[in-house]
Amino acid sequence: MTIRLYDTSARQIRDFAPLTPGCVSIYLCGATVQAAPHIGHIRSGLNFDIMRRWFAYRGYDVTFIRNVTDIDDKIIRKAADQNRPWWSIGYENERAFNDAYDALGCLPPTYEPRATGHITEMVEMMRGLIERGHAYEADGNVYFDVRSLPGYLSLSNQDLDDLRQPDEGASGKRDPRDFAMWKSAKPGEPSWEAPWGRGRPGWHLECSAMAHKYLGEEFDIHGGGIDLIFPHHENEIAQAKGFGDAFARYWVHNAWVTMSGEKMSKSLGNSVLVSEMVKQWRPVVLRYYLGTPHYRSTIEYSEEALREAESAYARIEGFVQRVTELAGQAVEPAAEVPPAFAEAMDDDLGVPQALAIVHTTVRQGNSALAADDKDAAVARLAEVRAMLGVLGLDPLAPHWAGEQEQGEDLRHVVDSLVRLVLDQREAARARKDWSTADAIRDQLGQSGLVIEDGPQGPRWSLGSR
């Protein structure tokens, strides 16, 4: 089946047809590194990590670019407020983003260019836009003339007559709707040399120039959060097309993580930092929570939802562990995922439907375990591992090995303590003291442990908190 994606520019799901057969090129707007990331920032990275993994599974050679915006108004303001160099703010938070991506199991990008490393490419693009009549210089600033390009605002589906560009505090615009590509130097602010005088690039220009540098005049997919559709992505398109590039063939946008119905944002004071979240929750649980809803659906943050994710992943993990113990060795992932899983993923990355296949397969595997059918249980585990590998959630994958080893150390301690209690329960059952046996089981259940009686005796697993 052909992979199909919702294309924001077409406002419909389209069959994916690559520019180059067997290859896919993806540009994702990455971090603006004025602050450490909250889980809303990282959702985009997770969603496109799953997209990348699925394309790779389908046999594509993937080139994945995720940029770093290390200079913009917010970074400059924060540096002034903290009396620190602007580059130290950017570098500190760039590392925090990379730590967060790594903690949640995101594969590293093919290239991760910084904006400040591509001033030359930006100057070249501005020079070309001025020559083509799409841009002009005024008071040391360079602006894009939005009326010069037919089709401007087609991505966001706005009317030019009603357009209000964000206030950029710059002077010399011919039309208030024009946007800045180059901002003239101000005292105390970072600046670079350009034909129009010292200054710094505008946010939109950075991505147009870097996409051109690493992916060429045309590429397959441009991604980012829905909040970037306007003005950022709209203005990227204007610059690229004005320069002569065909630019992105598909536009894919992920939805927000919200709190109390509002977009998670530092300015609203409702953000949840990844660095703090991983102290309270296992990173693999955070990945499950953020990565398994459909990428176009809003996630409303709540601890209850996180506990549900923790419980759901524990059921998967428990099955993987039980079958691995039964097999006596690691069970390799199946060569192919089940057809229903593949169908769901091909259909606009339908992760919720694909995850339902994972849980159905786990239930089938548990039934096989109950029936003492080792071969069927092992076969189901191979399928489960193949599916979890695509989602970046395989508990036996090398990335999660350290987390598992730490968990195993604690599990051995807990197992010894629980065994003492279970021995007391077995003694009560042997003397037909059913009320005591049931009371012990209930007390363990209240502690978050699930007790299952099987042919080899009772075993325990973690339930919900």
pLDDT given at position 416: 62
pLDDT given at position 391: 98
Select the more confidently predicted residue: 171 or 138.
138
CB atoms within 10 A of CB 207: 28
The CA angle 286-338-368, to the nearest 5 degrees, is: 85
Q: What tens digit of pLDDT does each residue of 228-239 get?
A: 999 999 999 999
Rounded to 5 degrees, φ, ψ at 62 are -100, 130
Q: What are the beta bridge partners of residue 223?
A: 28, 252
> Which of 110, 111, 159, 155 is CA-nearest to residue 251?
155
pLDDT given at position 165: 75
pLDDT given at position 407: 46
pLDDT given at position 170: 64
pLDDT given at position 404: 54
Task: Please state, in angstroms and rounded to a whole number, the distance separating the CA atoms of residues 359 and 391.
Answer: 13
Tokens of 148: 């010069």
Q: What tens digit of pLDDT does each residue of 376-388 get?
A: 999 999 999 999 9
Task: Please state, in angstroms and rounded to a whole number, the distance separating the CA atoms of residues 377 and 325.
Answer: 11
Q: Which residue has the tokens 């609203």?
A: 268
Q: What tens digit of pLDDT does each residue of 210-226 get?
A: 999 999 999 999 999 99
β-bridge pairing 23-32 and 218-225 = parallel
pLDDT band (50, 70, 90) for residue 412: low
Helix axes 351-370, 303-327, angle to 10 degrees: 40
Percentage of residues in the chain having pLDDT higher than 90? 80
Residues in the chain: 465
Q: What is the mean pLDDT of residues 167-171?
A: 68
pLDDT given at position 98: 98
pLDDT band (50, 70, 90) for residue 465: very low
In whole numbers, what is the pLDDT of the chain averaged over residues?
A: 92
pLDDT band (50, 70, 90) for residue 201: very high
